[in-house]
A = this chain, B = another copy of it.
Amino acid sequence: MTDPTNPSFDLAHLGHVEMLTDRFDESLDFFTRVYGLCLSGQDETSAYLRAWDDYEYHTLKLTRAGTTGVGYIGYRAASPEALERRVKAIEASGTKTHGWTKGDPGHGPAFRFEDSFGHVFEIYWQTRRPELADADKPALKNLASRYHARGACPRRIDHVNLLSDDVAEFRRFMETCLGSRVTEYIQLDNGRLGGCWFTVNNKTYDLACTEEHGRGLGRLHHVTYATDTREDILRAADIFLENGVHIETGPHKHAIQGTFFLYVWEPAGNRVELANAGARLILAPDWEPVCWTEADRRKGQAWGLKTIDTFQTHGTPPVKKQEA
């Protein structure tokens, strides 16, 4: 952070995640009615969803597909110039690139590239804000949309968690291509990185990568939206219960990052989380990444909850041999 040309401010924030579903109608019903996102629009292949205080047209692009998992992950740049700088840095890094797309209903031209594990990223500057019908206009003018109070009703997109065979390699990718900084990580006894949490801004993380145990490629562990309070998450647990949604684990508090969490599986099997970080932010410019050892991890989550087995194995798309 001491280099004035340091690229770490080039990307402003995580913009959106494309999630694939082979049960599109059920997934869309889940995300709108139960999870509580807003539908900004829909085309033949995708629904464009946002949380009520997300300022962009969409933060979740839900796409009909023959399988599940993540399509691509988008970050918004801090400026047109910052976008250019990032593209140059990515091209210079030897990373596999897909070149420019013309964007989609939610944003303008985006530059696509890919990590070594098959996850596709895109970065863009031009964005679109949702046009609000009168019924969607908020009472308070500093909100992106009306607080609709439907379903779990999170406030904004928070982060995405990917799986990779080689977290150290993924870390290099994130630092080089996105200019992300590492805030916390898991150091395994065998010397490997077990997981790594990244951010491009003051959020404690906007992307995490944990070790792939299923030999899958380009897999998704989960996508997360943030609620204002922990009570929102306790309430959401009742909503999921009453709607027959599979609650995998939680509510509880993570030791790593200290977020209060709840994990469920949407109808197609993609894991989605609700999380609350309280007032925790990474404000220190010289934040020292926090190292968690296997010994630390054996204590369980913050209040002792043991990690559930499926949390180590279930990702999307599923891997045949791994999961029953």
Contact = CB atoms under 8 A, between A and B. Distances in A.
Contacts of A242: 138-139, 146-149
Given A4-B82, A247-B304, A234 B230 contact: yes
State how many copies of this chain the complex holds: 4
A132 interface: no
A133 interface: no
Given A156-B279, A296-B141, A304-B247, A149 B237 contact: no
A169 interface: no
A290 B142 contact: yes
Nearest to A2: B79
Given A155-B280, A203-B202, A142 B257 contact: yes
B276 A276 contact: no
Contact of A229 (B12, B249, B278): B278
Interface in A240-257: 240-242, 244, 247-253, 255-257
Given A4-B85, A142-B256, A202-B203, A147 B238 contact: yes
Interface residues of A, number: 82
Nearest to A257: B142
Contacts of A290: 141-142
A251 B257 CA distance: 18
A158 B280 CA distance: 11
A142 B184 contact: yes
A16 to B, nearest CB: 13
Contacts of A251: 251-252, 303
A284 B155 contact: no
B12 A255 contact: no
